[in-house]
Structure 1
Amino acid sequence: MIEHIVLIKFSPNTLKEQIDEVIQQTKAFRGVIPGIIDLQEGHNFSERSQGYDLGLTVRLVNKEALEKYQVHPKHKEVRRYMEEIGLLDIIVVDFEID
């Protein structure tokens, strides 16, 4: 299995409602993008966040599923929306789990 972890930082001008929309769009990946086992996402409340607003974890069946996830049209659509609303930075960590 693959664990895909994403931290997302938006502009200070990005509204909470816009970030909520990102969360709703991303949660809709379940059942649409093949290979997803689990998906969790939410607003970051940590004071140690270094300004990152949103955390996402996606568990996928294997590396091939991760590759397909990254180029899936729904994934690209959400990425475009994030750029429109003020995406500043993304940190991604992918690792294999037993």
Structure 2
Amino acid sequence: MIEHVVLFKFNDQTTDEQKNEAIQKLTSLKNKIPGIVDLQAGVNFSDRSKGYELGLTVRFEDQEALEQYGPHEEHQKVVSYLKEIGMSDILALDFEL
């Protein structure tokens, strides 16, 4: 199993409604991309986040599923939306379970 962890920062113009829409779009990927075992996304509530506002965790069957996820059309649609609403930084970490 592979755990994929992503943190997102947005600019000051990004609204809470847009962030919530981003979460909905991210969580919908679970049913659209093969190889995803579990997917969770949410808004940060901690003051330790160094400005990262949304978090995403995706558990994949294997590394091949992770490699297929990045270029997948549905994933790229969500990435485009995140950029459109003002994503200013992203941090990703992958590890094997």
TM-score, structure 2 normalization? 0.98
Is the aligned partner of 1:20 residue 2:12?
no
Match of 1:35 in 2: 35
Gaps of 5+ in 2: none
Measure how far apart 1:93 and its partner are: 0.2
Task: Using the aligned pairs only, state the percent identity.
Answer: 54
- Distance, in Å, in 2 between the alignment partners of 1:46 and 1:82 is 21
The ranges of structure 1 where at least 4 consecutive aligned residues each deviate by more than 2 angstroms after the TM superposition are: none
- Distance, in Å, in 1 between the alignment partners of 2:47 and 2:4 is 23
Is the aligned partner of 1:54 residue 2:54?
yes
DSSP 3-state at the match of 1:37: strand
- Distance, in Å, in 1 between the alignment partners of 2:56 and 2:2 is 14
Match of 2:10 in 1: 10
- Distance, in Å, in 2 between the alignment partners of 1:31 and 1:19 is 20
DSSP 3-state at the match of 1:29: helix
Tell me how many residue pairs correspond in the alignment.
97
